[in-house]
Amino acid sequence: MSTFLSILVTGGAGFIGSHLVRRLLKKYPNTQILNLDALTYAGNLDNLKNCEAAPNYGFVKGDINDFTLLQELFKTQNFDAVVHLAAESHVDNSIKNPFAFAQTNILGTLNLLEAARRHWGNHTSEKRFYHISTDEVFGSISQNRQFSEDTPYDPHSPYSASKASSDHIARAYYHTYGLPLVISNCSNNYGPAQFPEKLIPLFIKNIVENKFLPIYGKGENIRDWLYVEDHVEAIDLILHQGEIGETYAIGGNNELKNIDIVFKLIEITDRLLKRPEGTSKSLISFVTDRLGHDYRYAIDTSKIKDKLRWEPKTSFELGLEETIKYYLKKN
């Protein structure tokens, strides 16, 4: 198991990043954790209010596209590990503005890789660069099959193409320069503190406010859902115990159609709001399908289970109820 003295977390004020930062601060009190975040619309330091006083926590507002800043941070903080989460991540936004996704997800990742390479040089035996990616790089998959670490890439949106590109660049740095790299590809995350542009938090908000629930196509697209706390546990394991040069697929073993997710959200939210059962079903509205909408994602998690003894602990029903309670409390 690797031990690090100073870890850089990019995108640490975002959804997954804030959960990870809290876990690292608590579990590794002798490790300095620096959170680098540009605080774009999805970043929120309120997610980390209870961490600000921690002696091993630091925050810098900055952009991974600022190469000079990255070099200065590596010089002053002497990071021996990087967990790279900073990314543009919403497919709909990538369709509207693909340039922003190429800039941050591809060039930003390249900046970070190069800053690490220049600072670490040949002294990489105790270093680690952890690049976090998505299952969307694999495209859509047919029934009775699952993505694995060996599945060929077939991205269908500007978002997934930008993430696939960043994966390839990261692997090139491993093969060309010997950068101590690990990669993971995860399924759809959900849980508390997610920005309400993604399906689950957006629909909870809309149910509470009696607004329409816009569902693409017929709602039959299938995704695997991973509770964010299970995900950051897996990230922690891969960071400290994963094998250099390897990729790990992380999934929640919760394959569900979008329409079934919506029915479950309605059922739980109406119950918690003490509304009559099924009240919010009238809010469902089917809309024109998303351009290039992948039909199904599914992940084979056998590698991380076998190699690192990780598997998701949170049932979808429990995780969803905890998530809904979080947003109801915020309202």
Q: Rounded to whole angstroms, how far apart are CA atoms 6 and 312? A: 28
- Name 182's bridge partners: 130
Tell me the mean pLDDT in the region 147-158: 95
Domain total in the chain: 1
Give the CATH number, domain containing residue 20. Answer: 3.40.50.720
Question: Six-digit token pair at 318?
Answer: 């429990």
3-state helix, strand, coil in the chain (%, to 5): 45, 20, 35
pLDDT at site 144: 84
- Decide if 321 is catalytic: no
Task: Return the half-sphere exposure (C-beta side, CA atoms, 13 A cut-off) of residue 119.
Answer: 26
Q: Which helix (H) or strand (E) holds 314?
A: none
For 240-260, the pLDDT digits (tens) are 999 999 999 999 999 999 999
Q: Is residue 108 part of a domain?
A: yes
Q: Rounded to whole angstroms, how far apart are CA atoms 113 and 131? A: 10
Q: Is residue 195 part of a domain?
A: no
Residue whose tokens read 């394959």: 255
Q: Is residue 200 part of a domain?
A: no
Residue 193 falls in which region: left (phi positive, over 0), alpha (psi -120 to 50) or beta: left
Which of 37, 80, 135, 294 does the annotation list as catalytic? 135
Task: Give me the domain span that covers residue 17.
Answer: 6-190+226-252+297-308
Q: Rounded to whole angstroms, how far apart are CA atoms 226 and 22? A: 18
Q: Is residue 262 part of a domain?
A: no
pLDDT at site 241: 97
Q: How far is CA 254 from CA 151, 207, 218, in A?
A: 20, 23, 20
For 209-237, the pLDDT digits (tens) are 999 999 999 999 999 999 999 999 999 99
- Decide if 233 is catalytic: no
Q: Is residue 265 part of a domain?
A: no
Which of 159, 173, 174, 190 does the annotation list as catalytic? 159
Tell me the mean pLDDT in the region 257-282: 96
Confidence of residue 198 (pLDDT cuts 50, 70, 90): very high
Q: Which amino acid is at 317?
A: E
Residue 253 falls in which region: left (phi positive, over 0), alpha (psi -120 to 50) or beta: left
Q: Is residue 21 part of a domain?
A: yes
Percent of the chain surpassing pLDDT 90: 92
Task: Judge whether 171 and 181 are in contact, CB under 8 Å.
Answer: yes
Q: Rounded to whole angstroms, how far apart are CA atoms 13 and 281? A: 34
Q: Rounded to whole angstroms, how far apart are CA atoms 137 and 133? A: 8
pLDDT at site 291: 87
Q: Rounded to whole angstroms, how far apart are CA atoms 267 and 226? A: 20
- Decide if 167 is catalytic: no
Which of 37, 80, 88, 136 does the annotation list as catalytic? 136
Q: Is residue 50 part of a domain?
A: yes
Task: Judge whether 271 and 207 are in contact, CB under 8 Å.
Answer: no
Determine whether 152 is exposed, middle or buried from the number of CB atoms within 10 Å of its CB (0-12, 13-18, 19+).
Answer: exposed
Q: Is residue 150 part of a domain?
A: yes
